[in-house]
Amino acid sequence: MRYLLVGAIGAVVTALAVPLVRVLALRVGAIDQPGGRHVHERATPTLGGLAMLVGVLVAFGAASMIGGFRAVFFDSSEPLGVALAATVICVLGAIDDVVDLSAPAKVATQVLAASILWYFGVTMFWFKVPFAGIVVLAPSMLPLLTAIWVVAMTNAINLIDGLDGLAAGIVAIASIAFGIYSLHLQALGQLPESSIGPVVAFVTAGVAIGFLPWNFNPARIFMGDAGAMLLGLLLAAATSVVGGRTANVSDQTFFFFAPLVIPFVILGVPMVDMVLAVLRRARHHQSVATPDNLHLHHRLREMGHGPRRAVAILWTWTAVLSAFALVPSFVPSLTAELPIVVVAAAVLLFTLLHPDLRRHSGTREGS
């Protein structure tokens, strides 16, 4: 219950902070105009990430006063590291939302935040390779691996943030799933009660949920780079301290349920979108930072799905992947995956063969 409580505090504070941030965005001219690659139809203020940052900091402060979290907040420097890194990446992301920083400057911001995490000990120490055992990381490798992990997570969330409510919903679903998985590891005695990972996961879910009512189509505010990079950083922090510190996983789990692999399954939608974007731009000899209209949400729009339906489809895929990762951790039988496979097939058919799409195709051919 205490994890749900801090998540709820993050949600409420974020929701209450959004109107104030919206006024600030209008005053400083942080407004995203329609046109070009943007699919929204009206000018919309951004900087929503600042409201989420307030939610994170207040939720952390509240958690530090709950007795059950004493080992997390008073015997470790990690909470301070997460709070400082979150503040740095969000504030610099907000500056980017106002003045539009270059791609190298954004990466430098992400590396700076990752360096703060590493300095305060928020990093992985070892990880399990399926069929190969435990790989213990040399201390000299930790800064680089932490930076790679943060840059990958923040850019994955940033790239998927292309439709109203899409990134916030995906992060909320994935964070809840990862939080449940982390608590399951604690129940099995494979993750210490002092781990900050579950706290960060539920706080991340809370601030994403609190922001979502303001961001769902038609959005009244965007999270901007400030919000996308903040959520990515929080996910990177949670997954690294859980996946990079759990030495053993129960034998009942399938091989790919090593803790460090779980985030890639749960966050399959943004991860696949990022990998496809990198491959696509490499094939055309373009910079990785080169924008295009070929992301997953753009492809769904081209197929004929409206913005709300496209968002719902990608949310559903995130939920399906999360269930696919979580169910075997609780139910060892492989037959437990069958309902998930059925649901995945239904979602795939809906995505490809929705009646509206067929009618749209038929009208176009008839014309």
User: What total number of domains does the chain contain?
Assistant: 1
| 121: alpha, beta or left? (left if phi > 0; alpha if psi -120 to 50) | left
List the structure tokens of 160.
């998927």
222 vs 306: which has the higher pLDDT? 222
Of 276-280, 324-328, 353-357, give the lowest mean pLDDT range: 353-357
Mean pLDDT of all residues belonging to the chain: 84
Q: Measured between alpha carbons, how far is 362 from 204 in angstroms, rounded to an integer?
A: 44
- Tell me which DSSP letter residue 335 carries: G
**pLDDT tens digit string along 96-132?**
988 888 888 999 999 999 999 999 989 888 776 666 6
Structural element, H or E, at residue 65: none
Q: What is the DSSP string of 148-169?
A: HHHHHHHHHHHHH--STTHHHH
Among 327, 317, 321, residue whose Cα is nearest residue 350: 317
**With bands split at pLDDT 50, 70 and 90, how would you rate the model's confidence at 256?**
very low
* Residue 38: pLDDT band with limits 50, 70, 90: low
CA nearest to 305, candidates 343, 352, 338, 265: 352
Is the model's pLDDT at 250 over the cut of 70? no
Range of the structural domain that residue 256 is part of? 2-366
On whether 158 is known to bind a ligand per the annotation, the reply is yes
| Upstream peptide bond of 218 is cis (omega within 30 degrees of 0) | yes
**Annotated binding-site residue? 225:** yes
Q: DSSP secondary-structure letter at 165?
A: T
Residue 50 to residue 93: CA distance in whole angstroms: 9
Tell me what pLDDT residue 86 has. Answer: 96
- The answer to whether 86 and 233 have CB atoms below 8 angstroms apart is yes
pLDDT, tens only, 191-226:
888 889 999 999 999 999 999 999 988 889 999 999
